[in-house]
Structure 1
C-alpha cells in the first residue's frame, strides 16, 4: 500500500516478482487487511468520477478495477526492494477489493445526494481541492513520530543529520511540526473553498474527522487500550495553536496567505526529515 520510507535497495538479490508465488504471511492482522482495503477506496472512487459520464456500469467497473490492480501491482513490486516492507498477494487482493468497494458510491448515486450538494456549496467545480480534502485524513493512518508529521522521505534527500549529544524538547518539537503542518495544509485547502463557505469551521471539522480516523486505526493496529497513545500534550496543544493561527491567517490578503502557506509546507517538510524521531515513538513501535 505504501512505499514509505523510500529507501530502496535494488541489490538485495530479491526478484521483482517473487511475491507473486510466495506463500501467504503466517500472521495476517485485521489492521493490515483494513488499511489495504480502505486505502484504495478513494482511488477507485476518483476513477469512477473520471470515467463518468462517458463510461458507465461494467465499463467503468472494468476501468476502476484494472487501474487499481495495476497500481497495486506496481506498489507491491517496488516493496520487494524496501527492507521494511513485505509484499504479498494478500495485500494485492485487499487493494483490489478496496477499488471494488468504491463502485456503490459512484457518480450516479452521489450526484443527487446531500453530500454532493454540500461539496458543491463548499468547492464549486474545484474537484482537485475536494479530492485533497477527502484524502488528507487517510494520509495520517501510518504511525508517525509527531502527529501530522507526514512527508518523512528519509535520508535520501536531506542526508543524515547527527545531533550528537544535543537534547531536544520533544514536546516543543511536536508542537512545531503539528502546528506547521495543520496551518499549511488548512491554508492550502482554503484556496479551493469558496469565499462564502464557512472556511474555518469546515477545516476544523476536517481536523476532527482526521482525529477520529487516527483513533480508529491506532486501535486496530495497537489495540483499543493504545488508541489514544499518539494524542500527547504536544499534539493536543499544537492543534489548538494551529487552529487559532488559522483563524487569523484566513483574514490575510491572498498574497500574504500564499507565502504563509509555502513557508509552512516547506518548514514541515524540512522539520520532519531533519529533526530526530521521538525515542518514545521508536520504543512504542518495537513494543
Structure 2
C-alpha cells in the first residue's frame, strides 16, 4: 500500500463544509416542514437574483475542481473521475436544497440545483484540463521530490491557516481561543435546565473575564501579545518544516508564511474596519513578535523533520495557553459578526471557526506524525 497521501481529499472536505455552511446559514429557526409545502421535486421560483446565480456556480466550482483532482490522484480514469464528481455535486446540492425546507429564511429552488451542478461540472472540466496538460502529474513529481509521502494533511493545514486570520483574532496571529466559545455553546444548550447553574455564573458578566485577566491587563500584556504573535507565526512554520524536504524549499515556505501572516491580517483589518486601519494591528509588541517568529523560522530551517514536529507540538500548546490569557469581549465579537463590510471576507463567521480550531487540528496532526514515525521505527526494528 502506498504511503502517499494527497492534500486534495482533506481540502475536499473543507469545500463541503463551506458549501453546507453557506447553504444552511443562518442555522437558526429550524422547524419540521409542512407536508403541503414539502416536495421531493424542487420548485422553480418566479424570480432570480443575479448575484445568487453567480454565487451558486462559483460556490461549487472549487468543490468540483478539488474533488475531481482527488479522484484523479487516487488512480481513477478521467471520465470516471469527472462522472463521479458531477454526480456527487448534484446529490450534495439536492440534499441541501431539501434541507432548506426546514429553515424559514431559505427557499429551495431547482434553478439553484441546476447551477450548483453546472458549477461542479465546470470544476471537473477544469480539473480534466489541468490533468490533460500534465500539470497534475508534474505537481505529483514535484511533491514527491519536495515533501514527505504523508504530507497531504499537513499541506492542507498550511492552505487553511490564512483563512483563520480573516476573522480578527483577540491578539495578532492568536488563533485557538476555544474554551470561551465552548462555554457559550454549553450555556445555550443548557438554557432553562438545572444544568445551567453549573455553566452560567451568578454574575453573567464575569464569564467574559479571563481567570488570568489580572495578568493580561497588567504590564505583562505587551509581553503576552509579543509571545502570542511569535507562537502564532511559528506554529505553521513547524508544520511546513515537518513536511518539507529540501532546505531551499523550507526557506521559500517560511518566507511565504511571513508574507501571508502580514497580508491576511492586514486584509482582514482593512475589510472589517476600513482601509485606513489596515496596519493598526502592527503595534510594537506585534512587530517584536513577528521578528521573533521570523528568527525562530531561521532556526527551524536546518532542523530534522522530527525535531520540527516536536517543536510544533510545544509551540501549539504554548499558543493555546497564551491566547486564553486574552480577555474575550462579547460586544466586540457581536459587532464584528454583524459588520456588513466584513461579512464576505469572513464568510458569515465561518473563518472565525477556522481560526479557533486550526491549532487543535494542527496539534492532532503533529502528534499523529510523531506517533506514526515511532510506530514505523518499531516495526522496522522487529
What band does the TM-score fall into relative to the shorter chain?
A: 0.5 to 0.7
For the residues of structure 1 that align with 2:61 and 2:163, how far apart are their CA atoms? 11
1:233 counterpart = 2:258: no
Secondary structure of residue in 1 paired with 2:243: coil
Select the residue among 320, 323, 332 that pairs with 1:272. Answer: 323
For the residues of structure 1 that align with 2:174 and 2:19, how far apart are their CA atoms? 16
Conserved in 1, the CA contact under 8 Å of 2:64 and 2:86? Answer: no
Distance 1:162 1:43, change over 3 A: farther
Secondary structure of residue in 1 paired with 2:68: helix
Q: Which runs of 5+ in 2 are unaligned?
A: 1-17, 21-26, 39-50, 184-198, 200-206, 340-382
Q: Which residue of 2 aligns with 1:63?
A: 88
For the residues of structure 1 that align with 2:130 and 2:285, how far apart are their CA atoms? 42
Q: Which residue of 2 aligns with 1:263?
A: 314
- The answer to which structure has the higher helix fraction is 2
Residues 148-167 of structure 1: matches in 2 within 5 Å? 148-155=173-180, 161-163=210-212, 165-166=214-215, 167=217
CA-based RMSD: 4.9
Q: Which has the higher Rg, Structure 1 or Structure 2?
A: 2
- Deviation readout 1:16-64 (Å, 9 max, x if unpaired): 679xx9xxxxxxxx9xxxx999998765543232222523335323424
Secondary structure of residue in 2 paired with 1:178: helix
Q: Which residue of 2 aligns with 1:143?
A: 168
Distance 1:60 1:189, change over 3 A: same
For the residues of structure 2 that align with 1:266 and 1:73, how far apart are their CA atoms? 42
1:106 counterpart = 2:130: no
For the residues of structure 2 that align with 1:232 and 1:213, how far apart are their CA atoms? 16
Residues 216-231 of structure 1: matches in 2 within 5 Å? 216-231=267-282
Alpha-carbon offset, residue 249 of structure 1:
3.0
Secondary structure of residue in 1 paired with 2:176: coil
Conserved in 2, the CA contact under 8 Å of 1:250 and 1:257? Answer: no
Select the residue among 142, 147, 169 that pairs with 1:123. Answer: 147
For the residues of structure 1 that align with 2:93 and 2:229, how far apart are their CA atoms? 32
Alpha-carbon offset, residue 163 of structure 1:
3.7
Conserved in 2, the CA contact under 8 Å of 1:123 and 1:130? Answer: no
| TM-score, L = length of structure 1 | 0.65
Conserved in 2, the CA contact under 8 Å of 1:185 and 1:265? Answer: no
Secondary structure of residue in 2 paired with 1:268: helix
